[in-house]
């Protein structure tokens, strides 16, 4: 029986706590008597018969006709699926998407459906490579569809591939993939790594264009969202749901398939990363010492390759299909079951170790903008109820924050860092002055469409993602980061955790309460 | 009188070249530059005047010579031993303050002018630079016959003399010569962009010369959008003060130009680029960078003296890029079709931009090793222009107050 999440009150006997530092980690001693550490629940048992569960979900959908009844010869069927940003780290084969897509295709074949397109729902993310697509959908599906041009990636900059469906009552434009909009049935294959994923966000974001996205990927929406992980207090989600209604009203027929995963995040050699430090055995301690000291001597590029070759053993804990909203309610409950940890009260200082990966640097570099996004966008938002850190409190992250960018994946990030952040870190100012220019830059568009680049506007979205965190905290400190890069972000560099606490004392006094969010594995604090 | 002199001693030039790898002060110690006591120069005849130096700047070309890095190109265009110093504000025997237009042109050498009213730098045949009656020398500061500003006295022809406005400090006046160089470079951009509504000009390097070019561009080229790659914070802030629209680190210049013109990047090159790029650094890397960020059929102007460089010219060939040197000044064709003397423009510009603030430090001749070291490390040490101050202490105090 997996143990639930746990909040450890740090005392004098508490061992040092593991902090991620990108492609490495360190052990940090937290002050006794006023610090606590939040540990994720242990991984739930995966489904025993995953393929059986998928088939059951397709045949017994929620608030929807069974999938076979929706399939008929001569129909246009489109299967859209989540892209490389999920799950994290990428899972061992077979990927959930492969299992679900194969099950859907089997039913489609039984029904005599032969007009089937598979679309990676990239939104403005980078295109996936052939290897990444093969990993997601499996070789059998890839070989059957890709060579005939029936498996492809959503292109948000191809006007011929987009269809304008109208506006929400709030005047938000809804423009999505034309093939998806024109199909007799759109099946969306989702992976819910966190509660933020799924629902109408899958289609209204994943298959849309800048014209649509700009209505909810903006500073106002992000600052008004409490948090991304709580759909009902998220303006981001409310906007996506309104757009979903426009899709329904326009006749787009969606069959949503959502799945949840357990938090079995690291393979055996890295097992100590998921364990609570006081439960480390001799082998865990030896693994930590060996790996952390070896990584210190390893060139960054090689260390990055090592970590990005990790395939997580996480597995499916639930799968449900049917009407989008009804399915998402069940999915969200299943996500909470795995990730929620009850936490009493807020803290003066929230500490977080930034790991090597986030949704936007799979097989890539965690550049400084993504460090900010991971810290203030994701880990800060891992709450339900209230933020873990008090308003006006301090966030301390640990990460090397190298001034380093993947030139193929993140070309506009380089310009954003060099030009925009050198002038302002205010999301509202940059939004007004620079966003449109980056979004409409022909070179970025070209690279997004033909290479493997995130869209020109994407670094803005990453910055907006952290807007609420920035607004909420009075100081952000990065321990061990490249000093110039940290300053460019508008944050304060510190060389050690003790230095960071000293710096934070200006804001929160000399005996602040400290909370460390011990993730990954993923957890969400239910702050009371 | 005291004078700093450069002698033609091959061994010392070689030593200086090696020592410059360690430090410029080491190069100054072992190199061809020595502080000597010599007689004031003999008068050269009608039209020549003796000038008493007040301030004399240290220029990049001076440093190249001292450090033994100057090209052999100059072997037949200088005469040893010579006293460097071509950025000079001095005074005549009657106390009139003057700056020197240092090119030893046709008038100074007794040759017919190439056209009526020609400035010393005008003309398309340089034979006069190496022919008697003067010994060879492209300009004051490289000619044995005239001496140069790094001494108490030197000789200047009346064609070289420009009066200094009464309200202009010596510090400002010593910037007139480099300002003239920058303005000349700026105006060299004009023919390439005359038909362009909003020309984009990139400037790589923001030492003294780069900054003077930026000021020249802003003052004399209409509607120009200036993008600058400047290494040090003080250079960056001065570039902004002189009118640059965007200032970035040198390695970011290509991306900054791309953002302005809205083109693509193809490998290391921009698909389009700046209409004109000014290289105010002058080495292999800077020239290569400039070729990469200049649009096809655009122009690269070399302002920094490059000596020997290694550059891949394939892109130049394919993009039909023009490359031009920009040495000095004379008579300029202005965008409005009129003609002006560069030094007149420079005197106006120095006053307008308060360029006296660019003089970061002055040294007496006795401390020349420190002065050279300071000038060679100007960027790192937060300086722009370093100069020798030969004014009597009393005058110095008066000027400073």
DSSP 8-state code for residue B47: T
Which two three-digit tokens encode residue A147? 């060579």
Average pLDDT over residues B371-383: 94
State the DSSP string of A330-383.
HHHHHHHHHHEEEE-S-EEEEEEEEES--TT-TTS---HHHHHIIIIIIITT-E
According to the model, what pLDDT value does residue B401 have? 35
Tell whether the model's pLDDT for residue B21 goes beyond 70. no
Distance between A333 CA and the closest CA of chain B, angstroms: 46
Write down the residue that tokens 């303006």 correspond to.
A235
Mean pLDDT of B109-136: 93
On whether the CB atoms of residues A318 and A334 are closer than 8 A, the answer is: yes
In this complex, do B255 and A415 lie within 8 Å of one another by their Cβ atoms? yes
Residue from A97, A87, A121 nearest A203 by CA? A121
Q: What does each C-alpha distance from B140 to B5, B68, B148 come to in angstroms? A: 13, 19, 6
In this prediction, residues B15-41 reach a mean pLDDT of 77
Contacts of B259 in chain A (CB under 8 A): 415, 419, 437, 441
Average pLDDT score over residue span A380-402: 97
What local confidence, expressed as pLDDT, does residue B399 receive?
46
Mean pLDDT over each residue of chain A, to the nearest integer? 97
- Dump pLDDT digits (tens) for A281-312: 999 999 999 999 999 999 999 999 999 999 99
A443 touches B: beta carbon within 8 Å: yes
Mutation to test the A interface, candidates B259, B267, B273, most A Cβ within 10 Å: B259
Q: Is A114 exposed, middle or buried (0-12, 13-18, 19+ CB in 10 A)?
A: exposed
Q: How many C-beta atoms lie closer than 10 Å to residue A356's C-beta?
A: 22
**Using the beta-carbon criterion (under 8 Å), do A443 and B264 form an inter-chain contact?**
yes
Per-residue b or e along B263-281, where b marks 16 or more CB atoms closer than 10 Å to that residue's CB: bbbeeebbbbbbbbbbbbb
Q: State the number of CA atoms in the 13 A half-sphere of A443 facing the CB.
A: 21
| Beta strand B359-363 pairing with B385-389 | parallel
What is the mean predicted confidence (pLDDT) over B14-39? 76
pLDDT at residue B400 in the model: 42
Asked if the model's pLDDT at residue A28 lies above 70, the reply is yes
pTM of structure: 0.90
Residue B254 at interface with chain A, using a CB cutoff of 8 Å: no
Number of H helices and E strands in chain B, helices first, is 15, 19
Closest-approach residue (CA) in chain A for B261: A441
DSSP-derived letter for residue B141 is T
Token digits for A375? Answer: 């810290």
**Does residue A484 belong to the interface with chain B, where contact is any CB pair within 8 Å?**
no
Smallest CA–CA distance, residue B232 to chain A, in Å, is: 14
Asked whether the predicted pLDDT for residue A385 surpasses 80, the reply is yes
Select the more confidently predicted residue: B308 or B143.
B143
Instruction: For residue B258, list chain A residues with Cβ-Cβ distance below 8 A.
Output: 443
* Yes or no, beta carbons of A419 and B259 under 8 Å apart: yes
- Reported as a pLDDT band with limits 50, 70 and 90, residue A268 is confident
Residue B22's pLDDT band (boundaries 50, 70, 90)?
Answer: low
Distance from CA of A307 to the nearest CA of B (A): 29
B21 contacts: CB under 8 Å, gap ≥ 6: none
| Full DSSP string of A397-408 | EE----S---TT
pLDDT exceeds 60 at position B397: no
Average confidence (pLDDT) over A62-70? 98
Q: Does residue B24 surpass a pLDDT of 70?
A: no
Residue A523 scores a pLDDT above 80: yes
Counting Cα atoms < 13 Å in the Cβ hemisphere of B205 gives 26
Give the pLDDT of residue A41. Answer: 96
- B258 interfacial to chain A (CB closer than 8 Å): yes
Among candidates B252, B262, B271 on the partner chain, residue whose Cβ is nearest the Cβ of A418:
B252
Domains located in chain A, CATH noted: 6-39+344-527 (3.90.226.30), 50-261 (3.40.50.11440)
Nearest to A441 among B256, B262, B271 (CB): B262
Per-residue model confidence as pLDDT tens digits over A8-24: 999 999 999 999 999 99
**Whether residue B205 has pLDDT greater than 60:** yes
As to burial, measured by CB atoms within 10 angstroms (0-12 exposed, 13-18 middle, 19+ buried), residue B380 is exposed
Res. B115: pLDDT tops 80: yes
pLDDT at B118 over 70: yes
Which residues on A lie below 8 Å from B265 (Cβ)? 411, 443
Query: pLDDT class for B252, splitting at 50, 70, 90?
Result: very high
Residue A446's closest chain B neighbor by CA? B264
Report whether A142 contacts A133 (CB < 8 A).
Answer: yes
CA distance B385 to A50: 75
The confidence score (pLDDT) of residue A320 equals: 98
Structural domains present in chain B:
2-164+354-400 (3.90.180.10), 181-336 (3.40.50.720)
CA gap A491, A504 in Å, rounded: 12
pLDDT for position B69: 77
Q: Do B248 and A418 touch (CB under 8 A)?
A: yes
Closest CA to A516 of A19, A23, A25: A19
Which of A418, A442, A446 shows the shortest C-beta gap to B255? A418
* CB-CB under 8 Å, B263 with A419: no
The pLDDT tens digits of the residues spanning A131-188 come to 999 999 999 999 999 999 999 999 999 999 999 999 999 999 999 999 999 999 999 9
Q: Is the CB of A419 less than 8 angstroms away from the CB of B264?
A: no
* Residues forming a β-bridge with A514: A35, A349
Tokens of A261: 């995963």
Residue count of chain B, please give it: 401
* Contact residues on chain B for A413, CB-CB shorter than 8 A: none
**What is the rounded CA–CA span in Å between residue A359 and residue A138?**
21
- With cut-offs at 50, 70 and 90, classify the pLDDT of residue B30: confident
Name the residue with tokens 């052990």: A27
Q: Calculate the CA B34 to chain-centre distance.
A: 23
Neighbours of A315 (CB within 10 A): 18
How far away is chain A from the Cα of B255, in angstroms, using its nearest Cα? 7
Report phi then psi at A225, rounded to 5: -95, 130
Residue A403 distance to chain B (closest CA, Å) = 13
Cβ of A414 within 8 Å of Cβ of B255? The answer is yes
Would you place residue B305 in the very low, low, confident or very high pLDDT band (cuts 50, 70, 90)? confident
Q: H helices within B132-268, ranges in order?
A: 170-173, 176-188, 190-193, 208-220, 233-241, 253-261
The tens digit of pLDDT for each residue in A323-372 reads: 999 999 999 999 999 999 999 999 999 999 999 999 999 999 999 999 99
Give the pLDDT score at A384.
95
Beta bridge partner(s), residue A78: A117, A186
| Whether the predicted pLDDT of B239 surpasses 80 | yes
**Residues A70-82: what's their mean pLDDT?**
98
pLDDT in tens, B329-350: 999 999 999 999 999 999 999 9
> Distance between CA atoms of B254 and B266, rounded to whole angstroms?
12
Q: State both tokens at B164.
A: 């200094």
Query: What pLDDT score does B18 carry?
Result: 67
Is the predicted ipTM greater than 0.90, yes or no? no
């Amino acid at each position: 029986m997996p143990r639930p999440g746990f909040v450890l009150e740090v005392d004098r006997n508490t061992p040092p706590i593991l902090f991620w530092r990108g492609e490495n980690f360190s052990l940090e001693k937290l002050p006794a008597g006023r610090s606590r550490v939040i540990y994720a629940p242990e991984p739930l048992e995966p489904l025993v018969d995953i393929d059986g569960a998928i088939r059951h979900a397709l045949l017994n959908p929620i608030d929807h006709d069974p999938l076979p009844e929706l399939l008929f010869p001569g129909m246009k069927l489109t299967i859209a699926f989540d892209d490389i940003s999920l799950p994290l780290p990428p899972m061992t084969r077979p990927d959930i998407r492969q299992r679900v897509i194969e099950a859907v295709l089997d039913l489609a074949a039984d029904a005599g459906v032969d007009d089937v397109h598979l679309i990676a729902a990239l939104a403005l993310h980078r295109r996936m490579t052939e290897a990444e697509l093969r990993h997601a959908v499996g070789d059998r599906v890839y070989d059957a569809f890709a060579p005939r041009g029936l498996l492809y990636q959503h292109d948000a900059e191809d006007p011929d591939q987009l269809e304008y469906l109208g506006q929400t009552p709030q005047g938000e434009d809804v423009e999505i993939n034309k093939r998806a909009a024109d199909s007799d049935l759109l099946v969306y294959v989702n992976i819910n790594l966190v509660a933020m994923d799924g629902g109408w966000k899958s289609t209204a974001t994943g298959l849309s264009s800048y014209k649509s996205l700009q209505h909810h990927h903006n500073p106002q929406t992000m600052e008004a969202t409490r948090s991304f992980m709580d759909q009902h207090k998220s303006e981001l989600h409310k906007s996506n749901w309104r757009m979903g209604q426009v899709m329904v009203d326009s006749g787009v027929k969606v069959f949503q398939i959502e799945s949840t995963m357990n938090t079995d995040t690291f393979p055996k050699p890295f097992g100590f990363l998921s364990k609570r430090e006081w439960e480390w055995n001799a082998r865990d301690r030896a693994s930590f010492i060996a790996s952390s000291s070896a990584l210190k001597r390893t060139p960054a590029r090689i260390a990055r390759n090592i970590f990005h070759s990790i395939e997580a053993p996480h597995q499916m804990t639930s799968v449900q299909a049917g009407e989008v909203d009804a399915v998402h309610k069940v999915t969200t409950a299943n996500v909470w079951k795995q990730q929620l940890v009850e936490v009493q009260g807020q803290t003066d200082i929230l500490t977080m170790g930034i790991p090597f990966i986030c949704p936007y640097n799979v097989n890539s570099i965690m550049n400084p903008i993504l460090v900010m996004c991971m810290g203030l966008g994701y880990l800060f938002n891992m709450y339900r109820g209230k933020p873990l850190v008090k308003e006006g409190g301090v966030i301390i992250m640990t990460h090397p924050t190298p001034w380093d960018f993947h030139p193929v994946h993140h070309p506009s990030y380089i310009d954003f860092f060099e030009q925009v952040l050198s002038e302002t870190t205010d999301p509202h100012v940059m939004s007004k002055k620079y966003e449109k220019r980056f979004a409409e830059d022909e070179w970025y568009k070209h690279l997004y469409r033909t290479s493997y680049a995130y869209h020109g506007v994407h670094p803005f979205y990453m910055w907006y993602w952290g807007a609420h965190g920035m607004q909420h905290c009075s100081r952000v400190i990065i321990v061990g980061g490249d000093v110039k890069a940290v300053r460019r972000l508008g944050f304060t560099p510190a060389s050690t955790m003790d230095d960071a606490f000293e710096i934070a004392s200006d804001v929160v006094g000399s005996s602040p309460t400290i909370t460390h969010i011990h993730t990954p594995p993923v957890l969400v604090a239910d702050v009371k | 009188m005291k004078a700093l002199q450069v002698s033609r001693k091959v061994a010392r030039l070689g030593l200086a070249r090696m020592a410059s790898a360690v430090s410029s002060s080491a190069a100054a110690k072992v190199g061809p530059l020595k502080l000597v006591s010599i007689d004031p120069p003999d008068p050269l005849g009608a039209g020549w005047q003796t000038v008493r130096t007040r301030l004399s700047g240290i220029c990049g070309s001076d440093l190249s010579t001292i450090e033994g890095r100057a090209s052999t190109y100059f072997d037949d265009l200088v005469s040893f031993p010579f006293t460097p110093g071509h950025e000079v504000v001095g005074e005549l025997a009657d106390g009139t303050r003057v700056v020197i237009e240092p090119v030893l042109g046709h008038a100074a050498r007794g040759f017919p002018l190439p056209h009526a009213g020609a400035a010393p730098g005008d003309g398309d045949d340089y034979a006069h630079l190496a022919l008697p009656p003067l010994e060879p020398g492209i300009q004051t500061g490289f000619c044995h016959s005239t001496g140069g500003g790094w001494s108490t006295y030197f000789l200047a022809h009346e064609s070289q003399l420009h009066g200094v406005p009464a309200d202009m400090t010596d510090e400002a006046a010593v910037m007139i010569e480099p300002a003239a160089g920058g303005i000349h470079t700026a105006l060299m951009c004009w023919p390439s962009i005359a038909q362009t509504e909003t020309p984009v000009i990139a400037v790589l390097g923001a030492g003294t010369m780069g900054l003077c070019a930026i000021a020249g561009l802003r003052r004399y080229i209409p509607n120009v959008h200036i993008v600058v790659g400047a290494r040090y914070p003080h250079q960056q802030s001065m570039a902004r003060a002189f009118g640059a629209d965007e200032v970035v680190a040198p390695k970011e210049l290509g991306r900054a130009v791309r953002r302005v013109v809205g083109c693509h990047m193809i490998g290391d090159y921009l698909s389009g680029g700046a209409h004109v790029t000014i290289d105010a650094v002058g080495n292999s890397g800077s020239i290569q960078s400039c070729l990469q960020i200049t649009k096809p059929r655009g122009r690269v102007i070399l302002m920094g003296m490059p000596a020997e460089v290694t550059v891949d010219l394939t892109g130049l060939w394919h993009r039909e890029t023009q490359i031009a040197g920009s040495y000095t000044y004379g008579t300029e064709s202005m965008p409005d079709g009129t003609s002006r003397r560069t030094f007149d423009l420079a005197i106006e510009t120095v006053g307008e931009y308060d360029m006296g603030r660019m003089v970061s430090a002055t040294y007496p001749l006795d401390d020349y090793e420190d002065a050279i070291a300071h000038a060679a490390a100007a960027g790192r040490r937060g300086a722009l222009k370093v100069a020798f101050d030969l004014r009597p202490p009393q005058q110095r105090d008066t000027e400073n107050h």
